[in-house]
Each structure stands twice: as structure tokens, then as C-alpha cells.
Structure 1
Amino acid sequence: MLQGKRILLVIGGGIAAYKALDLIRRLRERGAAVTPVLTASGSQFVTPLAVSALAGSKVYRDLFDLTDEAEMGHIQLSRSADLIVVAPATADLMARMAAGRADDLASTLLLATDTPVLVAPAMNVRMWDHPATRRNIATLRGDGIAFVGPNDGSMACGEYGPGRMSEPLEIVAAVEAHFRAGPLAGKHILVTSGPTHEPIDPVRYIANRSSGAQGTAIARALIALGARITFVTGPAEVPPPEGADVVRVQTARDMLAAVQAALPADAAIFAAAVADWHVANAGASKLKKTKGGMALEFAENPDILAMVSHLPDRPALVVGFAAETDDVITNATAKRLRKGCDWIVANDVSPATGIMGGTENAVTIIRQDGAETWPRMAKDQVARRLAVAVAEALGNPSAPATVS
């Protein structure tokens, strides 16, 4: 898939830079040509000699190299590649990208390009969670920058949490997804998945039995058809799909913020089992057991599906899910009208079905022009069938998509 593809790899300055060496090897194994750009801080972690030896190419470092700049070298670098990969993308480098800075070779070529850019963030968990970083991420996504990771994990600083750079094979999968030919190539699709956890206090929460398996399968199927996926997931039991831009959240309000940051999109599929309420009087410290029980006050969570469905610049296709235990079709049909979405994927999650948290699903697709019930099948099969229907709908928006 990567045979003959030209990858411009920008190596930022972080301890995760050592992974860039393996990434170069993995990309070249698959036939890609890798041209490395090493930032000044990146060269503190990996040597130009090691990078050059693995890439089989000159390492570019200096914006003011007179030999290269005689022919506007930074312009040629930025536009001769099929894809620019930034790994690791540090908090500082992403901040400079978001601000449109051009004060070194890496930031200049990233500003001077119209080539697609894929970034693999790597930083301390507190830096990743800082409001400034979140603003920069939202800006970059709005500019069309694709993300892969970061993962949760142990950090060199001894902390644990989101901010660990994706593994080289995960980045390779995202690169392959970018180049994958398919009916959804060039389309950006937002997928939500998994449950949300609504805190009662710092140690307890309210949740549901969603495993995230169906949403994850849908994202994988869309990636297989060439789509670029932003995958917003609650605390799911299954790992996220390789090749997606993964955003991990906890609460419904977190999910709303992540969804808003991910827009615009060509389509949005809301497979997450979002809690309808959160605890309004959640304790700042652990609540103690008292005689006579405990009274919790509930407040309504934001309606993410309805909000996106009614945006003036909404995605061309908005798909919701309706997990019901009674009068499935009637309730799901009413939900589609109430929310304003294009399709509702309805399923019966009553305990006897074993669907919630299971490996199979039985769904009915409800659209404006009618409904179609599919036989019970594996969730991966449901996902592939739904992905084909999405591709048909986006390929011919004036006609209702078939779902057979």
C-alpha cells in the first residue's frame, strides 16, 4: 500500500523521538520513501547519523542552509511529499503549528504546505490535559490536521495517563489508512463509542453496560473504506481502532466538547451509549454511608445527537443509535424525529438478547423513507454493512442509501 509513497517525517524534541527510528524502518519496509526533518530539540534525543542511516536519506535540520535554500528548499520539501508525519508532535511544536509560526525549518515547512499532515502527539499527561493544548488541538483539527493517539501509558517522568505517543505500527496503520483507496477516501467521519461515566464522587460513578464493541467495529469498517476517522470514546472495554484519531473522554459533557472540537465532518455516527443524566450534587470527596440512604440529585446531560443534527453546517449524514427494551421500532422512530438525525440504528437491548456488551447485534435502520430490519449477526458484520450504506449515502446525497 505504501510502495512509492513519499513521507516527510518531522521528528520533534521529546523522549518519544526514539520511536521515530523504528517508525522509519517500518515505513521503509512497506515501500515508502522517508525524508526526515529533525528539529533542534529532536537532535538532543536521536542523532542525525542514526536517522539518516535508517531513512537512507539526508536529514534536513537548518532553515538557513544556503545550498538547500538556493532553490527554496523548504517549499520543495513541504510540497514534494505525499504525506507529512509529525512524530513526536510535542506540545510546543503543536502550539507553533496552531499559531502559524515559522521560526525553524519544521514549523516553516508545515506552514508552507498544502500536503496532508498527520501528527502523533507525545507529552506529559498534564501538558496534554492543559486548556492551552486542548485549544491548540481544536485549532489544528479545524485546519484539517489528522491525529493518531496519544495512548494512555507510563511516561518517562513517572506519571501515567494520556500523552504517550502511539506505537510505530499504530502510526503506520494511520498512514496506510490515509492512502487506502476506497469509496470514503477523503471523507472525515466522526464516530462516538462506548459508555460515559458520570461521577458520584471521586471514587464512584454511574455508567451502563456498553462495551464500545459496536462503535469500534463501525470505525474500523469506515477506515477500511478509506475514511479519516475521529473516534471519540468513553471508557470502553475494547481497544480503539488502529488508524483513527482517538479522543478519550469520561463524561457526557466531555464527549460534547470533543465532538464540537472534531467538527466539521462529512458524517457523524453516534454509537456511544451516553448517559442521559449526571449527578448534580456529586461529592468533591468520597461520600460516606449514612443511615437512611443517600439522596442524589440528577441534572440532564447535553443532547449531543440533537445538537449536531440541528447545526447550520451539520454533517451531510447524521446517524444516531437507539438502544431500547420495549416497543423498539416505535420508540426509535420517535427518537429520529425528535433528534432531527437522518438515520437511527435501533436495537433491542433487553437482558434476554445479550446484545448490550455482547458480540452480536440485531438492528433496524430507520430513515425518513422507511425502515429495514437486518438479521442478527456479528457486530463486525453490522459495521461493514453500515459502512457501505454510509459510503453510498455520501457518494449520492440526493438519493436515500440502501442498507442491504
Structure 2
Amino acid sequence: MQRLIDRLGPNGPYIALALTCLLGWAFKAHCGAGWTWSEQYITGCYSDAVPFWGLRGVAAGQIPYLQARMEYPVLTGALIWAEGVLARVIGGRGADAADFLNAVVLVNAMLAYVVLELMRGAGVGLRRQYGWALAPPLVLYLGHNWDMLAVTFAVTAILAARRGEMVKATALAALGGAAKLFPVLMLPLLGLTALFRAGRAWPRRIRDAALLVIVAVVAWGAVNVPVAVLAFDNWREFYAFSRERGGTAASVWELLAQFNWWVTDLPTRNFWSFVLFAGGAATIVAVGWRRHRDRPWLLFMPVLAWFLLTNKVYSPQFDLWLWPMIVLTGTRLRAMALFLLGDLAAYFAEFWFFAGLDGAWPSATQADILAAAIVRGAAMLWLIHGAIRDPAPRWIAIPRPSTPPPEDRPIPAG
């Protein structure tokens, strides 16, 4: 493996990512714009882009929130509108859902390249670069939804924090929260980084932490407040939908209910989901503090993993939120491999379950989903354990060189 990496050289990850994105496009696009005989579930080619083309005014070019309802945060709504424009450029007057899917894949592929370039610029080792460039979750989810925008914000924020640029990291994490909610989980960790920075007096630390709060509010508000003022009901739909949503097939809460282990109503599920997440996240930070008190932002990956485990909704593409953070900060290779196996198993178990509901084959049961969720959950707990106990990855500990290495010099693989 190392010999192959050396032979491909520093541009190898670019080639690998191109192949991965091509596979991701083929995986979703082979079904076309219309689905028959539950093929979207049987083959796994389901994409939110296909039904969304005819919903929320995308095909008609309506402006999200102002002219059409939108169930996503503001920046994702803007991205969907822009991709709708691109789809009409690609397909002309006859543009359809297939053109929209192609536009979604194209934009997500560009964002995947941005993430790779960010990793390379930060001095991330070649093996970790290949961990992103050859990521199976990219094949599964490149054309599935619009998560890559928030992923890009989150990765950029983590790398800014690594450089000590806390204001920039906070602004990026807040903007990521205006695309999908999960980057907001980084904000308390950035605040702790400022509040407990060594070598500074407490008044200075408090001022720095307060500044980050202001930056987060201003950054998030800059893109949300204008839309909320002009179209409050449509703007709040995402937040109302999140609160009122019951769960998904692979979430721990839905599995507990399906097997009659713990059946709860929605308010109770919302309450305990929050309590378990808050308590677990606090424990992760407390236990990981001894190892990572100089870099609390390193605990974002285990906190995010715990959030996914305790959240009432666990859609398949949520694994794409976590994987780049695992690539950047993960320390247990076997746990990473087990997570990928669990992700693949959970993906097809869930969609084959839907196929079975339609009377199609192959089909899966709730027991199959449970088995896949156990594999994935065990991997995530293993990753959490490693993140709070192991030293930071080597690329984080090594100062960034002032000049890039020559093209013919091998780049460290760690």
C-alpha cells in the first residue's frame, strides 16, 4: 500500500477523489429521473434531489423562503436554489430531476475537492488524504443530499482552530450551522479553547470567549435574520420540523420503540434525547480534558459521534458529517474500518427495509437495521474512546512548515 502511495505521488489523492466522485455519480444517476419497481431502494440510488425537483418550487425557479417553503437552513436553501439554476442551464427548457441530480453531484464533488485541498494545505498526511479521497461515504452520499456544504464549513473551521484562528473558526462554524445544524456543536469547544488558553490572564480569557460569542451570533444572524424578517414562517420550518419529527428507522429511539424496549411519546423522546446528549458530551469533554485541554476543539469528533448516537433522527447521510472528522482526528484504524462497514450495512439495511414495505426484493427487517446499527454504534463508541484517550494525530502536533515541501519529496503518510 505504501509503495502504491509513493508511486502515485502527491497528486494521487486528486486522482483517487475523481474516481470516487465518478462512482458516486454513477451510483445515484443510473436510475435516472424516474423510479420504477422500488429501484431507488433496491439499488440504493435514492436521492433527495429527485423528489425535491418537483417540490418547494425548485423546478419553477422560485426563491426559497420568499416564494416557496423550505425545510432546510438558509444557506442550504440558497444552495438548492443555485443548483436549480445550474440544472436549467444543463438541461435547458427540458430540464428535469436528472439534470438537478447532476447539478447536485457536481457541486458536492467540487466541495469534496475543496475539503481535500484544505487537508493538503494543512499538512495532513497522505494516508489521511486518501481516507477522504477514497471514502465510501462519498460514493453513497455525494448525490444524496446537500450535506457537503456544512461539511466544508466544519472542516474549514477545524483547520482554522488548529492554526489558532479562533475568530475565523467560530465564524465558519456558525455559518456551517446555517447550512446544517451540526457544526454548531463546535462552538462551545472553541469557547473553551479561548477561556482556558494558557499564558493569558483571566480577564483577557473572558474577553476572548465573549468575543467568540459575539462573532457566532453575528455570523449566524447575518444570513438568518434578513430571511426571518421577510418570511418568518418559511424560515422557521426547519426548526419546527426538527422539533416535531419523530425519528428514523436506524435511530436508537426508533429501534427501542420498534422492539418495545422503550416506547415514548414525542415530547419525552425530545427531552431524553437532549439529556443524554448533553450529559454524554459533558462527560466526553471532562474525560478528554486531561489529554486535550490545549486543543478542546479536537473533541468535536467524539461529541458529534455521541450526538448522532443519541439523536432521535439518524438519516443515512449523517455519516458523511462524521467521516471527514474521523479522517482528520481519528486514531483507531480498526474502529474507522468498522465504522465504514457499519455505514454500508446500515445504508442498505434501511433502504432494503423500505423495499420490503413495497413488496420488493431484496428486503430487510428491523432486526437487520438493528444489527447494522449495533456495528456502526460500536465503532462510534470505539472512536469516541480513542479520541479522548489517545494523543493528537501527528499532523496536528507538527507545526505547519513555512514553505511547502518540494514535489519530489515524499509527504509523511501519518
Give yes or no for TM over 0.5: no
Bigger share in strand:
1
Which structure would you say has the larger Rg? Answer: 1
Bigger share in helix:
2
Report TM bin, short chain. under 0.3
- TM superposition score normalised by structure 1: 0.28
Q: Which of the pair has the greater relative contact order for Cα pairs under 8 Å at 6+ separation?
A: 2
- TM superposition score normalised by structure 2: 0.27
